[in-house]
Amino acid sequence: MISMSPRKNILLIATGGTIASKKSDNGLKPQISPEELIQYIPQVKDICDFHAVQLLNLDSSNMEPKHWKMMVHTIRENYEKYDGFVIAHGTDTMAYTAAALSYMIQNSPKPIVLTGSQKPICLDITDAKTNLTDSIYYVCDEKSCGVTVVFDGCVIAGTRAKKTCAHSYDAFSSVNFPIMASIREGRIIRFVFQEKENLSVHFYEAMNDSIAILKLLPGSRPALLGYLFEQYDCLLIESFGVGGIPESLRDEFYSQMRHWRQKGKIVVIATQVVNEGSNMEVYKVGKKVKRDFGLIETYDMTLESAVTKMMHLMGVYGKDYSSICKGFYQTVSYDILYPDRLME
């Protein structure tokens, strides 16, 4: 059930996306204002005072870190004025934005919800009205806090959301972590209970987006490594299985690491497998190289969280590898279960 006290004051931050799109000669394009969005769900006026701002008007494929900073700045400037925030966002990069905001706005006792839709809100058959309404119900609930994604009746931690369906209404999954809650006809059923009484919000706007992802293929060419090390501060390698460096890349990897490591370059190893996570200690292709260079490993994190967490940490700590490594393994908003493995 929804546990609401006095009437809430909620800010809708519109950024474009499918939810706000209409047909154009060149396909769907964001054209619907936040005031129009609210008109499609008149019932929310009965549960809260609703205000809106048009921060961006993008297809979310065009979302960049500079836009995340704009969202953080807007929330920071309005944090004391409102009881919660709903960000209407395109689905293509919503998981990246949700993860980024989880690191840029930490320990928020006020809820910050991202939502969107697979169909525009102006259509007769659409998931937009339900998703937006559910988001309002959730953000108005006294027990809600932190950054989450609300979509298709599910509440997902911002660090655990991943788009796994291109067309279906159940577009997002919670990876390696249970959904926080489900919402059905205004009823909130919680599965993960958060303590918000002692939370004190911290805002971080520094981000270093000099990071590249190398998705390994059978037969990947070693020459790629030198180019990527030269161009970027951090290289995240999506390896096979539980993680490692194939023999065909090993000699070049060692050579490049010996050269670039002293210049502050960072390597993070992830897995291409979505569920269950990496463990480089299992096989020879992973164990030795991890120990030789002290590589950072993503374990059960989503790719979106690993990328944005590194952007955040490099923005905060620069080239201080020890602080970055320590910060990476500290759990933020349920993003990594690795510390629990250390206790086993």
Residue labelled with tokens 């546990």 = 3
DSSP character at residue 19: G
Task: Please count the CA atoms within 13 angstroms of the CA of 180 that sit on its side-chain side.
Answer: 25
Cα radius of gyration (the chain) = 21
The sheet with strand 211-215 has its strands ordered as 211-215, 234-239, 266-271, 296-297
Closest CA to 266 of 304, 216, 315: 315
E strands along 99-145, which residues? Answer: 105-106, 111-115
Q: Could you tell me the two tokens for 240?
A: 């096979």
Residue of 15, 18, 93, 298 with catalytic role: 18
Torsion angle of the four alpha carbons 250, 252, 255, 259, in this order, in degrees rounded to the nearest 10? -120
Helices vs. strands in the chain: H and E counts, helices first: 10, 18
- Which stretches within 155-302 are classed as H helix? 223-231, 247-260, 284-293
Interatomic CA distance for residues 324 and 320, integer angstroms: 6
340 three-class SS: helix
Interatomic CA distance for residues 34 and 204, integer angstroms: 26
The Cβ of residue 168 has, within 10 Å, a number of other Cβ atoms equal to 10
- Which stretches within 240-293 are classed as H helix? 247-260, 284-293
Our answer to whether residue 159 is catalytic in this structure is: no
Q: Could you tell me the two tokens for 16?
A: 């474009």
Q: What is the DSSP string of 181-220?
A: EEEETTEEEESS----TT---EE-------EEEEE--TT-
Q: Could you tell me the two tokens for 93?
A: 């990069």
Catalytic residues: 18
